[in-house]
Chains A and B, each alone.
Chain A
Amino acid sequence: MPEQNAVEMRGVTKRYPRVVACDCVDLDVRRGEIHAIIGENGAGKSTLMKILYGMVRPDEGSIRLNGTSLIGHAPSDSIKLGLGMVHQHFMLIDPFTVAENVVLGIEPVRAGLLVDGQAARERVERLSSEYGLALDPDERIENLSVGLEQRAEIVKVLYRGADILILDEPTGVLTPQEVAELFLVLRSLRQSGRTIIFITHKLNEVIELADRVTVMRDGRVTGVVSASETTPGELARMMVGRDVLLRVERGEATQGEPVLAVSKLSAVGRKGAHVLDQVNLEIRSGEILGIAGVQGNGQTELVDVITGLHAASSGNVMLSGTDITNRRPRVIRDMGVAHVPEDRLARGLVPEFTVAENLVLGNQHHAEYCHHGLIDVVKIEEHARELIAEHDLRPADPSVRASHLSGGNQQKLIVAREFDSDPALLVASQPTRGVDIGAIEFVHTSILKMRDAGAAVLLVSAELSEIMTLSDRIAVMYGGRIVAEFEGGTVTEEDLGCYMTGAANDSRGQATAEGAA
């Protein structure tokens, strides 16, 4: 009689110097189910999964995987027992092809020495077609979209024989379309008898996809429920311990003078292609302009050109009447432009710095923190304590290294820093990526407050619901152009989706014309 549970964790505890990340956690995952793990930022979800995988050693507790007890195991041991993990930050080698990445480490060999490229390709194709993971084995990773990269990761894990898959926040970086495709894949994997554990902050995904849900709070399990017998509201209560407004109230704001005016802006990408093509847009004070679009259609470059991180090839960017085209990032920042970058680890913070140090990054030269070239450590720490309290960063300790924060808390740190500077223009890319529902509520409320106080906001998000709730106007980017522009509240998600994929662009030229005005 095979055991019913694919994973059994008992009394698992992991203490870090300032927090107990997992506090006597029990987790049961049944064979063949899709099991969701939810919880606030810093609740210990990623840590629990890293312990299961063997990347982090627990202080106490026992683990059984497919009926085998694991003690002090390494990832290589859990992989042998059929566990696979799709990391949040993909671990693929960019210049290699999909097939090369998938077989890396256990390549099919020809003549005892040579990697058998043909065999590798065939196996990748077989796996892809079996589970609906459409993927070109010969494409290089660097040319793939995030969604396809994730597929490559999943195929790689399957290639290693995984029958239990862990996915840590797989949907955070995907477009709605890609999410739907991922769910199809996960369902077909379940059908084939595989077990799936996934972490998410999106409660509707939990209800839609999962069989059972484990809820965590402050390192403890606060409940295990069956997804069909619960509601997002109840899950939210279990996570946060209070009712969460799943929607924010937004009032009318009075709009003032134009703050940002971009005209005929073009830019050339790293590979020489035109990534921005004659973009025009204007944001007034007290206005939120949301940019919708599938990742890779010029949003990143638009943000980078405005903030001075990427050169414009023609056109110009005006900030409150001053030309800031191709000025230095510091000059632009100091003129009152705050920027929440889309890739938090690569650009938003210095992982080796403490929370306090990160909270002044970009403002370290301002008179508040710096006198005659000397930094005021006392002031920096005070400032950190204030922001930590205001934004509920956990652990509430300014001296923790940012790399030791949970993913969502890293994001909250960046948001706290950028929102604090009282900007004239806020450029926010994916501001709520990876943060829990309570924090989303807080970030959204803060963005609206900044708008009401007269800031202009440029919001870029893959999350259509976020764009729709917050924006006064919505622009859709496709192929480096703004292809449509709408007043907030006058458009449906489906319509936006059509423009985002380019499907509507020929038939509905009228909206485009309206947008260009």
Chain B
Amino acid sequence: MSSPGASGTATRVSRIAGTERIVDVLAPLVAVLAAFLVGGLVVAAIGESPLRFYSTLFRGAFANADSVGLVLFNATPLIFAGLAVAFAFRAGLFNIGGEGQLYIGSFVCTWVALQLPGAPRVLLIPVLILASAAGGGLWAAIPGYLKARLGVHEVINTIMMNFIAVGLTSYLVINIFKEAGQMTPQTATIPIAGELPRLAYFFQSLGVPLPAANPLNVSFLIALAAVWLAWFILHRTTLGYEIRAVGHNASAAECAGINVRRTLVLAMLLSGAFAGLVATNEVMGFRHRFLDNFSSGIGFMGIAVALLGRNSPFGVLFAALLFGVLNTGALEVDLFTDVPRELILVVQAVTIILVVVGNEIVRRRREGGATSRRRSEATAIGQDGSAEAS
């Protein structure tokens, strides 16, 4: 009564624990490749050469040290924004408010810097980093508190807090803190002691020809540290343990004596702090001042980054770098091919969707097929099993 093929069609992905790890790493890579394939089809569909499109894109991203530096520079704020979303997500909270939190963090950072003109570098830099985190964190703690105390959904409140943050900082910059004698809606520059150094000289000393004009700065290293810190908090501290417990099963957490409300507020606070750290790149590392409306959506991109990185800190790093590549390469594509600018955005978005979908498919297969669609039809074979034919 044996039916052929029953074992042949079965998945063997999860034979041993070791392969699980490998699949974990390979899955996103395979997904990215598949995404590029489909992206290529989109390009071909408008009559452009996919090959030329991608070679230009990658040249734009990887041609030389300068472009790689740009990739990392572009990825830096996305790492912070992605961490913010991912961290809150681990507590079961959907923080859509990264945009507002990074504006507030950046504004507080700038304001504090402007108050301390004579402070020495060793003091000012840590103070400004803390100010950025505190600004973003406290801003996020407000919807966190409303959620924990009154059960008001954090999505609505974080979105509203975005409008307030953008409007408020805009008002403050234009009406109160605008640089004297300038038309641009921006503050004066922060003291030099508060600037984060660029990495060009450091890399040059290592023999990497990163031009002095490249904007990559120490904030990128802070972002790497933040990735590690987020992982460390989640997996090595009692608070992180409690955050994850609340995120996965709040009633079990409550039953185990965890203060769910307090944990939710703290998770939002830390999440917002990561978003606030965008200021280290945008204010301390690059612009050296607060420019009205500078972000144009970094906080929202953070949502995509976090989803792409499956809400794990190291996944966020990977995802932000991928975004960095796409964003940096897109400039080159815009300059040197006839693919219209809008379409580059389309290809970018298609790539991201496919990576997310691909990830999900691999994950489901590994879970043992409980939720996956069947791959082979159920074959109805006659009463006495003509299956034996083979």
Residues on A lying within 8 angstroms of B by beta carbon are 3, 8, 10-11, 15-18, 50, 54-64, 67-74, 77, 307-309, 328-334, 339, 341, 346-353, 357, 361-362, 364-365, 370, 373-375, 377
Please name 4 further chain A to chain B contacts, defined as beta carbons within 8 Å, in addition to the given A349-B249, A364-B242, A377-B236, sorted by A numbering: A71-B3, A72-B378, A74-B374, A352-B244
The interface residues of chain A lying within 8 Å CB-to-CB of B374 are: 54, 72-74, 77
| Cα(A57)–Cα(B15), bound, Å | 13
B residues 1-42 near A (Cβ < 8 Å) are 1-3, 5-7, 9-12, 14-17, 20
The interface residues of chain B lying within 8 Å CB-to-CB of A333 are: 256-257
The interface residues of chain B lying within 8 Å CB-to-CB of A341 are: 255
Would you call B252 and A347 a contact (CB within 8 A)?
yes
| Cα(A16)–Cα(B20), bound, Å | 11
With A17-B17, A346-B252, A361-B252 known as contacts, the answer to whether A68 contacts B381 (CB < 8 A) is: yes
| Cα(A391)–Cα(B59), bound, Å | 60
With A69-B387, A77-B378 known as contacts, the answer to whether A353 contacts B244 (CB < 8 A) is: yes
The interface residues of chain A lying within 8 Å CB-to-CB of B373 are: 74
The interface residues of chain B lying within 8 Å CB-to-CB of A10 are: 1-2
Would you call A64 and B1 a contact (CB within 8 A)?
yes
Query: B380 an interface residue at 8 Å Cβ cutoff?
Result: yes
A-B contact pairs, 7 of them (CB 8 A): A56-B368, A57-B10, A57-B369, A72-B376, A308-B257, A353-B248, A374-B236
Q: How far, in Å, is B111 (CB) from chain A's closest CB?
A: 31
Chain B 358-376, CB within 8 Å of chain A: the 1/0 string?
Answer: 0000000000111001111
| Cα(A60)–Cα(B259), bound, Å | 47
With A3-B383, A62-B1, A351-B249 known as contacts, the answer to whether A72 contacts B255 (CB < 8 A) is: no
Would you call A55 and B370 a contact (CB within 8 A)?
yes
Would you call B7 and A330 a contact (CB within 8 A)?
no
Q: How far, in Å, is A20 (CB) from chain B's closest CB?
A: 11
Pick from A56, A350, A352, A375: contact of B238, CB under 8 Å: A375
| Central interface residue in A8, A55, A74, A346, by most chain B CB within 10 Å | A74
B residues 192-221 near A (Cβ < 8 Å) are none
The interface residues of chain B lying within 8 Å CB-to-CB of A364 are: 238, 241-242
Residues on B lying within 8 angstroms of A by beta carbon are 1-3, 5-7, 9-12, 14-17, 20, 236-242, 244-245, 248-249, 251-259, 368-370, 373-381, 383, 385, 387
| Cα(A496)–Cα(B389), bound, Å | 63
Q: How far, in Å, is B157 (CB) from chain A's closest CB?
A: 25
The interface residues of chain A lying within 8 Å CB-to-CB of B381 are: 68-69
| Cα(A57)–Cα(B370), bound, Å | 7
Secondary structure class of chain B's binding surface, majority of residues: loop
Which residue of A is nearest B257, CB measured? Answer: A330
Would you call A60 and B10 a contact (CB within 8 A)?
yes
| Cα(A309)–Cα(B14), bound, Å | 40
Which residue of B is nearest A347, CB measured? Answer: B255
| Cα(A347)–Cα(B257), bound, Å | 11
Which residue of A is nearest B11, CB measured? Answer: A57
With A357-B241, A373-B238 known as contacts, the answer to whether A71 contacts B378 (CB < 8 A) is: yes
Would you call B257 and A329 a contact (CB within 8 A)?
yes
Pick from B2, B236, B251: contact of A346, CB under 8 Å: B251
With A16-B368, A328-B257 known as contacts, the answer to whether A61 contacts B7 (CB < 8 A) is: yes
Pick from A18, A59, A377: contact of B12, CB under 8 Å: A59
Which residue of B is nearest A18, CB measured? Answer: B17
Q: How far, in Å, is A406 (CB) from chain B's closest CB?
A: 14
Would you call B3 and A69 a contact (CB within 8 A)?
yes
The interface residues of chain A lying within 8 Å CB-to-CB of B257 are: 308, 328-334, 362
The interface residues of chain B lying within 8 Å CB-to-CB of A329 are: 254-257
The interface residues of chain B lying within 8 Å CB-to-CB of A15 are: 14-15
Would you call A62 and B3 a contact (CB within 8 A)?
yes
Would you call A60 and B6 a contact (CB within 8 A)?
yes
Which residue of A is nearest B373, CB measured? Answer: A74
Which residue of B is nearest A2, CB measured? Answer: B383
Q: How far, in Å, is A447 (CB) from chain B's closest CB?
A: 20
Which residue of B is nearest A349, CB measured? Answer: B252
Which residue of B is nearest A362, CB measured? Answer: B256
With A17-B17, A353-B248 known as contacts, the answer to whether A72 contacts B238 (CB < 8 A) is: no
| Cα(A308)–Cα(B260), bound, Å | 14
The interface residues of chain B lying within 8 Å CB-to-CB of A56 are: 368-370
| Central interface residue in B11, B239, B245, B375, by most chain A CB within 10 Å | B245
Pick from B10, B240, B255: contact of A309, CB under 8 Å: B255
Would you call A69 and B385 a contact (CB within 8 A)?
yes
| Cα(A299)–Cα(B14), bound, Å | 43
Would you call A71 and B379 a contact (CB within 8 A)?
yes
Would you call B254 and A309 a contact (CB within 8 A)?
yes
| Central interface residue in B12, B20, B239, B257, by most chain A CB within 10 Å | B257
| Central interface residue in A58, A346, A362, by most chain B CB within 10 Å | A362
Would you call A330 and B248 a contact (CB within 8 A)?
no
The interface residues of chain A lying within 8 Å CB-to-CB of B236 are: 374-375, 377
| Cα(A135)–Cα(B339), bound, Å | 66
Q: How far, in Å, is A66 (CB) from chain B's closest CB?
A: 10
Would you call A365 and B252 a contact (CB within 8 A)?
no
The interface residues of chain B lying within 8 Å CB-to-CB of A375 are: 236-238, 240-241
- What 4 pairs between A and B have smallest CB-CB spacing? A330-B257, A362-B256, A77-B378, A73-B378
Q: How far, in Å, is A49 (CB) from chain B's closest CB?
A: 13
| Cα(A58)–Cα(B2), bound, Å | 14
Would you call A373 and B255 a contact (CB within 8 A)?
no
| Cα(A295)–Cα(B242), bound, Å | 31
| Central interface residue in A3, A309, A357, A364, by most chain B CB within 10 Å | A364
Would you call B380 and A68 a contact (CB within 8 A)?
yes
Would you call B6 and A58 a contact (CB within 8 A)?
yes
With A57-B368, A328-B257 known as contacts, the answer to whether A71 contacts B376 (CB < 8 A) is: yes
Which residue of B is nearest A57, CB measured? Answer: B369
Q: How far, in Å, is B14 (CB) from chain A's closest CB?
A: 6
Would you call A350 and B253 a contact (CB within 8 A)?
yes
The interface residues of chain A lying within 8 Å CB-to-CB of B379 are: 69-71
With A18-B17, A57-B10 known as contacts, the answer to whether A361 contacts B370 (CB < 8 A) is: no
| Cα(A226)–Cα(B7), bound, Å | 31
Would you call B378 and A347 a contact (CB within 8 A)?
no
| Central interface residue in A61, A69, A309, A347, by most chain B CB within 10 Å | A69
Pick from A72, A328, A351: contact of B375, CB under 8 Å: A72
Would you call B255 and A339 a contact (CB within 8 A)?
yes
Pick from A17, A58, A72: contact of B16, CB under 8 Å: A17
The interface residues of chain A lying within 8 Å CB-to-CB of B17 are: 17-18
| Cα(A61)–Cα(B7), bound, Å | 6
The interface residues of chain B lying within 8 Å CB-to-CB of A328 are: 257, 259
Would you call A370 and B238 a contact (CB within 8 A)?
yes
| Cα(A209)–Cα(B259), bound, Å | 47
Q: How far, in Å, is B19 (CB) from chain A's closest CB?
A: 8
| Cα(A74)–Cα(B376), bound, Å | 10
The interface residues of chain B lying within 8 Å CB-to-CB of A57 are: 10-11, 368-369
Q: How far, in Å, is A440 (CB) from chain B's closest CB?
A: 23
| Cα(A357)–Cα(B252), bound, Å | 13
The interface residues of chain A lying within 8 Å CB-to-CB of B240 are: 375
The interface residues of chain A lying within 8 Å CB-to-CB of B369 are: 56-57
| Central interface residue in B16, B236, B239, B369, by most chain A CB within 10 Å | B369
| Cα(A331)–Cα(B257), bound, Å | 8
Pick from B11, B12, B237: contact of A374, CB under 8 Å: B237
Q: How far, in Å, is B325 (CB) from chain A's closest CB?
A: 31
| Cα(A346)–Cα(B253), bound, Å | 10
Q: How far, in Å, is B365 (CB) from chain A's closest CB?
A: 10
Q: How far, in Å, is A168 (CB) from chain B's closest CB?
A: 15
